[in-house]
Amino acid sequence: MMHHTRDSRYRNLQDGSQSQRGVRGLDSAQVPMVEEAEMIATTSRELSDGGTPGSSQSSLRASSPPMVMGPNSGRPSDEASHNEVEEHEEPVPSMHDALKLKIVELVYFLLLKYQRKELITKAEILDSVIRDYEEHYPVIFSEASESLKLAFGIDVLEVNPLIHTYVLISSLGITYDGMYHGALGIPKTGLLIMSLCIIFMEGNYVSEERFWEVLSKIGMYDGRNHFLFGEPRKLFTKNFVQEGYLEYRRVPESDPPRFEFLWGPRAHAETTKMKILEFFASVARSDPRSYPDRYADALRDEGERA
């Protein structure tokens, strides 16, 4: 039988007022996460399949329903006849769709640059990706940069403001990108940061059941191969643990055995609770102070590091 204090700790995790706020916060954060995942889905599949940036636009056109033109579609009525065949015309993509495609293409482009460890310039982005949408560059660049950070844990930093040169680095001080674990060549810092968020927001430890419950909201399932990142169980319970970012341990005296996740020593060394809280709050579109217990914990962590 599970030790009584340990068992009550899990009950308190679900019943306490702060825990409930953490649960609601994690659930609300799924919305923007899912939106970003859907936005980069085409890019991700192309990257894993070796596609090209331009192919996303053709696939969107191919999936768009044809516009049916009939006798009342604006053509003169005398042109209509009983043997007239409906004409099918491909719709012109809206500006919203066109910009969304450019954002996807830019995410893809930046991922390739990250893999090659190359600097990027605004001029190169305009020439290779933006092209006829130069007036929308600020929006496209901003949205692509945010998507890259949220989905892959990569920051776009300007290193030369005169010629607008950028470098790509892992977010929040994390030095590991996991490109050699799971699906080769795909940065996994975003998954690692997400796991650190889950653990911290649940009170610095989280049961394995709750951990997978949260991840399932963004399409990551225990034992099911992910089309982009590979087998998630190995990533979270083996690779991230071996790298020192996560601790995956059995709950003492649990019978049947139960397991939980905590931060590992490398996570404590490279990032902070405040950085993780601020990242989570930005994803959940909230203020870090709206999680008072977690904010107080993060402040204590900052004080201990001073």
| The predicted structure's pLDDT at residue 91 | 59
Per-position b or e across 83-111, b if 16+ CB within 10 A of its CB: eeeeeeeeeeeeeeebbbbbbbbbbbbbb
Which phi and psi (to 5°) does residue 164 adopt? 55, 65
Angstrom CA distances, 122 to 109, 141, 145, 146, 163, stand at: 12, 9, 13, 17, 8
Please state, in angstroms and rounded to a whole number, the distance separating the CA atoms of residues 191 and 303.
Answer: 28
Same domain, residue pair 286 and 259: yes
Four-residue CA torsion sign, 94, 97, 99, 101: negative
Q: The domain spanning residue 100 has which CATH number?
A: 1.10.10.1200
Point out the domain boundary residue: 141, 173, 205: 173
CB-CB contact of 302 with 277 (8 Å): no
Does residue 71 form part of some domain?
no
Give me the percent of the chain exceeding a pLDDT of 70: 69
pTM over 0.75: no
Q: Which amino acid is at 101?
A: L
Model confidence pLDDT, tens digit, residues 15-37? 333 434 444 456 555 445 545 55
Cβ neighbours around 139 below 10 Å, total: 13
Angstrom CA distances, 154 to 28, 110, 146, 150, 240, stand at: 23, 10, 9, 8, 17
Q: Is the confidence at residue 272, as pLDDT, over 60? A: yes
Does residue 63 form part of some domain?
no
Same domain, residue pair 181 and 153: no
47 vs 58, residue with greater confidence: 47
Same domain, residue pair 245 and 264: yes
Look at residue 160 and give its three-state secondary structure.
strand
Model confidence pLDDT, tens digit, residues 141-177? 999 999 899 889 999 999 999 899 999 999 999 999 9
Q: Tell me which of 72-81, 265-274, 278-287 is least confident.
A: 72-81
Domain range for 110 is: 90-173
CA-nearest of 155, 131, 130, 150 to 140 is 130
Does residue 75 form part of some domain?
no
| The predicted structure's pLDDT at residue 19 | 39
| The predicted structure's pLDDT at residue 269 | 96
Four-residue CA torsion sign, 247, 230, 149, 25: negative
Please state the domain count of the chain. 2
